[in-house]
Amino acid sequence: MRPSLSLCVRSARALVDAAPPADVSTPIFHALVPLYALSLLPAFSHMWLASTAGNANFYYAATLVWAVGMGGWALEAMRARGRREALRALGAEGRAAVEEERWKVVQR
């Protein structure tokens, strides 16, 4: 069953209108790196296999960008979870101080 166009548009609108998670420091960067790699993979694959204008290093570079992007996602997820757990352990007064920017959560 194919999703209707209106469902796809509503889903895309919800993604665009959604605020980034407060615990993630650079959501735009971490979203664009995998998209950049996904745009490079088909182009470099075609250059290497179909037109024989490139070599395997092009394809390796695209997969390296993908791996760095996924590693960034993993590190950011661990950092966000650690921040969330630290805030949860502070209590109501500590969370209010962090939200008012009187305190800063630092992980060491």
Per-residue pLDDT of the chain (108 residues; tens, 9 = 90+): 555 545 455 555 555 555 555 666 777 888 888 888 888 888 888 888 887 787 778 778 888 888 988 898 888 888 888 878 877 887 888 777 777 777 676 666
CA distances from 32 to 9, 43, 51, 64, 69 (A): 21, 17, 28, 15, 9
CA distances from 100 to 19, 97, 106 (A): 19, 5, 16
Cβ atoms of 46 and 53 within 8 Å: the answer is no
User: Model pTM greater than 0.85?
Assistant: no
Q: Which element (helix H / strand E) includes 71?
A: helix 56-90
Q: How high is the pLDDT of residue 23?
A: 63
Cα 84 → chain centroid = 18
Q: How high is the pLDDT of residue 32?
A: 85
Q: How high is the pLDDT of residue 21?
A: 58
Other Cβ atoms less than 10 A from the Cβ of 12: the count is 10
